[in-house]
């Protein structure tokens, strides 16, 4: 794709999602919240050279979570300089109010929280009708039963392994039971996990059934050697795959389009 308005077209989004679907699972999606915002273009190029497939956008509203991060206008600026699929996590009290802005900004996967959606079905269907993938997220205290009725409406599930809103927290291993529950209920459903992911916790998450690992500080190391960080994660992902039921080359595609 060329660096033009074409990046915002439905055809461009479909092409990005095709790349996303074709990537071997499990894979790592670095969280741009941890990159150097003064040189995002260089950071994206470095991630591309290191073999990254897509990136994770943490959108915080200062209400659902304590911190603020960035909005759709920033995502749109980033879309102008990259063809990475944008896995966009809306940590917001009212994600439906801003959905269209993030779709227009070139986001591809939209993640919303069950905690703010007593009935998530209308919004999940809006997301998919816009040509994006719909993912439903649950926080550490939220039981699997909260999302179980809606698994047929989603393209993926995100399990938070820390309390959302800030980086650098410690991984909460008890959430892996929810990963296992999702895997048992929908064996082919992509499952991502976010929070405290380092090499050792990556292995645990993959063994439980996670197919996507959202990683912040574990990729954006002070030495800038993102390829080395990803190689270390990949080694533990392979170890976790051997222990679990999800092989390294599993596609993990949604069961419906």
Nearest one of 119, 131, 126 to 85, comparing CA atoms = 131
Q: Which of 21, 61, 194, 223 is an active site residue?
A: 194
Q: Which of 6, 45, 58, 83 is an active site residue?
A: 58
CA distance 20 to 33: 20
CA distance 120 to 143: 16
Instruction: Name the 3-class secondary structure at 22.
Output: helix
Catalytic (active site) residue 194: yes
CA distance 14 to 252: 17
Catalytic (active site) residue 58: yes
Q: Measured at the alpha carbon of residue 33, what is the angle toward residues 77 and 194, in degrees to the nearest 5?
A: 125
Beta bridge pairs of residue 9: none
DSSP letter, residue 124: H
CB 206 within 8 A of CB 26: yes
Q: Measured at the alpha carbon of residue 41, what is the angle toward residues 82 and 90, in degrees to the nearest 5?
A: 65
**DSSP letters of 39-106?**
GHHHHHHHHHHTT---EEEEEEBSSSSS-B---HHHHHHHHTT----EEEEEE-S-HHHHHHHHHHTT
Mind telling me the catalytic residues? 58, 194
């Amino acid at each position: 794709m060329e660096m033009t308005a074409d990046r915002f077209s439905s055809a461009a989004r479909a092409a990005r999602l095709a790349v996303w679907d074709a990537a071997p699972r499990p894979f790592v999606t670095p969280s741009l919240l941890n990159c150097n915002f003064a040189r995002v273009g260089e950071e994206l190029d470095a991630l591309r050279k290191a073999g990254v497939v897509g990136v994770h956008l943490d959108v915080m509203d200062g209400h659902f979570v304590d911190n603020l991060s960035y909005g759709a206008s920033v995502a749109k600026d980033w879309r102008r300089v990259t063809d990475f699929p944008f896995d966009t996590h809306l940590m917001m009290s009212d994600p439906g109010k801003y959905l269209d802005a993030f779709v227009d900004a070139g986001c591809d996967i939209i993640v919303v929280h069950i905690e703010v959606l007593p009935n998530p079905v209308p919004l999940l269907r809006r997301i998919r009708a816009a040509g994006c993938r719909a993912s439903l997220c649950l926080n550490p205290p939220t039981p699997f039963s909260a999302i179980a009725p809606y698994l047929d409406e989603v393209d993926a599930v995100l399990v938070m392994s820390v309390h959302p809103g800030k980086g650098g927290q410690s991984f909460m291993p008890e959430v892996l039971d929810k990963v296992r529950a999702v895997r048992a209920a929908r064996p082919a459903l992509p499952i991502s996990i976010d929070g405290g992911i380092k090499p050792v916790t990556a292995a645990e998450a993959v063994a439980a059934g996670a197919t996507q690992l959202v990683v912040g500080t574990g990729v954006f190391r002070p030495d800038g050697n993102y390829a080395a960080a990803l190689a270390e994660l990949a080694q533990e992902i392979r170890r976790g795959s051997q222990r679990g039921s999800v092989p390294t080359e599993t596609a993990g595609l949604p069961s419906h389009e």
